[in-house]
Structure 1
Amino acid sequence: MLFRQLEYLVALSRERHFARAAQACYVSQPALSEAVRKLEDELGVPLVRRGRKFESLTPEGERIVLWAQRILADRDALTDEVDALRTGLSGQLCVGSVPTAATAVSLLTEPFCTEHPLASVRVLSDLRSEDMLRKIQDFEIDAGITYLRAGISEKFQVVPLYRERYVLLTGTAIGRPGARNATWAEAARLPLCLLVGTMQGRRVLDEIFEMAGARAEPEVETDSVASLFAHVRTGRWVGVVPYAWLHVFGVPRGMRVLPLVEPDHTVPMGLVTTVREPGSVMARALTELARRTDVAAVLERLPTDSLTG
């Protein structure tokens, strides 16, 4: 059995198409197909259902893919560990985040790159929470920043980073003049632009609106917090945004920000990695850095009077 055969099988599982899998592995389709057939012969079980084209993996194939992912991840971790012992940490760290946490990622990647100048970083900042957790389990990314929902620590290693709280982003002409805050019930009655309902960040907001006895019915939905800012900038809509985004954008000209109250609600956010040991040397280095970095304190460093624009 060769690592190459396992790589081809994992690519086929991911792409669900022989030609795309071959392209991803930089080999010809016949070469990939033959390597998978040889793996089937060696294991003595069918791994792929074939018709005129790829149909699916067999139940045996789905199980073997899980083992292949683990074996390849351990191989990469071993290689990175040896490289780190020889020359210092190098290679690429891959970090994912849910969109609402995108601004917090740089608070870890900047000191990471400072401490490990031979390493590079790849950030995927528009992942749904469930997709990110799957990518961590499938060893496609090293770590992710997401909502620390109940039960997550049973399957993943978790480092709490900060608590996400929310503000109402409006044009200066919308809302009560001179208001210093807004209630969730009041926000529900305004022309809203919110994240799409399939995203964890939106589900969190819906839960808070429900706590306030209100229901949000947005006129515009988007899968991007940056797009939400852009829609509010037109002056027609208001948005509910994570306070952490103000760390990067501040309060844009022509807008104001009102803390949302009744209820005062926050949601824990944290760094999530696999529980497997020894695991990725990249993930270990990032986890160690996260434990000694006060992300919450940095995100709170905003002038008090900036809240009202």
Structure 2
Amino acid sequence: MIAKLEMLIALAREQHFGRAAESLGITQPSLSTGIRQLEEQLGVKLVSRGSRFGGLTPEGQRALIRARQIVGDTRRLRDEMRASREGLAGHLRLAVIPTALTWASRLVTGFTARHPNVSFTVLSRASAEILSLLDDLEIDVGITYLDNEPLGRVTSRPLYAESYTLICRPDHPFAQGGPIGWDALGAARLCLLTPDMQNRRIINRHFMEAGIGPAALIESNSTVVLVANVLHGDWVTILPDDLARFLCEGKPLAVVPLKSEGAAPAVGLIAPHQEPYTPVLQALLDEAEGLTRPSA
């Protein structure tokens, strides 16, 4: 039954029989047979079929909610039994907004130093995608903004408050003074993250509050691309302070603070709301809390 519920989750996620089968490492006929057997067991039609996948039926949508709960509970039970037998061990899948990757590294390296039998997969993803991946059980935890856009029912551990800096070449006029205001950037040659990134939406809001509407002539979903553009051309970009200093270290670039206005966005670790947590996930939540706890 669990394997068939996982088939339903994969099909809802991929919206395509072939891709769903591939994601599970099975053949498409095996997937189709498994879905039909699940329909027979439940006594309802779950999938609208034609020449291609036609979506889930209303009954299929309700079954999907319960399937995610059952599969999630089963995985947690398995992890708890493994921890009782072997100690903290296993694999955690972590999705992170691009601007928080340096903090993800701190969290993961500190955790694995204390728990060497736990491995990680770390993915860079937009905030909306992180929530979708959590819902689909494709990741175990995420690092994202906590208070800027709705998160749904999750458990969170704050990591840091995001402050912003402008990156430019050392000979740029912006590099000659101290902190600069957002209203000074109206004519700047900007390269910024793409609009699907929540960081970009926050930056746009700062511009709007400053009464300006500058255009980003280069957009990318990669912070490395943004810094490379500044390094090789007459561009400026805006990134969180911690990430900016990491990417600019050892390079002929200036990191100039932007004047803060209002509350800084909070970034933290999120996990599906569940009690009790598996021992591994609880340890990771404790690790995140320890990162921000003042040292004695």
Q: Same fold (TM over 0.5)?
A: yes
Q: 1:87 corresponds to which letter in structure 2? A: E
CA distance change for structure 1 residues 122 and 294 in 2, over 3 Å: closer, same or farther?
Answer: same
Indicate the SS of the match to 1:182: coil
1:226 maps onto 2:227 in alignment: no
In the TM superposition, 1:1-309 aligns within 5 A as 2-125=1-124, 127-149=125-147, 152=150, 155-176=153-174, 178-261=176-259, 263=261, 266-294=264-292
Q: Deviations over 1:153-177 (max 9, x none)?
A: 7621111111110011001222246
Q: Which shifted more, 40-49 or 243-252?
A: 243-252
Is the 8 Å Cα contact of residues 162 and 295 (structure 1) preserved in structure 2?
A: no
Is the 8 Å Cα contact of residues 80 and 89 (structure 1) preserved in structure 2?
A: no
Structure 2 unmatched runs, 5+: none
Q: Deviations over 1:117-153 (max 9, x none)?
A: 111001112x111221222233221111111115757
Equivalent pairs, count: 295
CA distance change for structure 1 residues 44 and 212 in 2, over 3 Å: closer, same or farther?
Answer: same
Deviation at 1:181, TM superposition (A): 2.0
**In structure 2, how many angstroms separate the alpha carbons of the residues matched to 1:281 and 1:257?**
41
**In structure 1, how many angstroms separate the alpha carbons of the residues matched to 2:105 and 2:123?**
12
**In structure 1, how many angstroms separate the alpha carbons of the residues matched to 2:151 and 2:18?**
38
**In structure 2, how many angstroms separate the alpha carbons of the residues matched to 1:295 and 1:255?**
32
CA distance change for structure 1 residues 178 and 167 in 2, over 3 Å: closer, same or farther?
Answer: same
User: Which ranges of 4 or more aligned residues in structure 1 deviate by more than 6 Å?
Assistant: none
Indicate the SS of the match to 1:114: helix
CA distance change for structure 1 residues 137 and 262 in 2, over 3 Å: closer, same or farther?
Answer: closer
**In structure 1, how many angstroms separate the alpha carbons of the residues matched to 2:226 and 2:212?**
21
Q: Deviations over 1:160-212 (max 9, x none)?
A: 11111001100122224631222111123210011111210000001111222
**In structure 2, how many angstroms separate the alpha carbons of the residues matched to 1:264 and 1:168?**
18
CA distance change for structure 1 residues 62 and 153 in 2, over 3 Å: closer, same or farther?
Answer: closer
**In structure 1, how many angstroms separate the alpha carbons of the residues matched to 2:230 and 2:293?**
27
Identity of aligned residues (%): 36
Structure 1 unmatched runs, 5+: 298-309
**In structure 2, how many angstroms separate the alpha carbons of the residues matched to 1:57 and 1:101?**
35
Normalised by the length of structure 2, the TM-score is 0.93
Is the 8 Å Cα contact of residues 245 and 255 (structure 2) preserved in structure 1?
A: no
Normalised by the length of structure 1, the TM-score is 0.89
Deviation at 1:33, TM superposition (A): 1.1
**In structure 2, how many angstroms separate the alpha carbons of the residues matched to 1:106 and 1:244?**
12
What is the root-mean-square deviation in Å for CA atoms of aligned residues? 2.1
Deviation at 1:53, TM superposition (A): 2.0
Deviation at 1:216, TM superposition (A): 2.5
Is the 8 Å Cα contact of residues 166 and 266 (structure 1) preserved in structure 2?
A: no
Deviation at 1:100, TM superposition (A): 0.9
Indicate the SS of the match to 2:109: helix
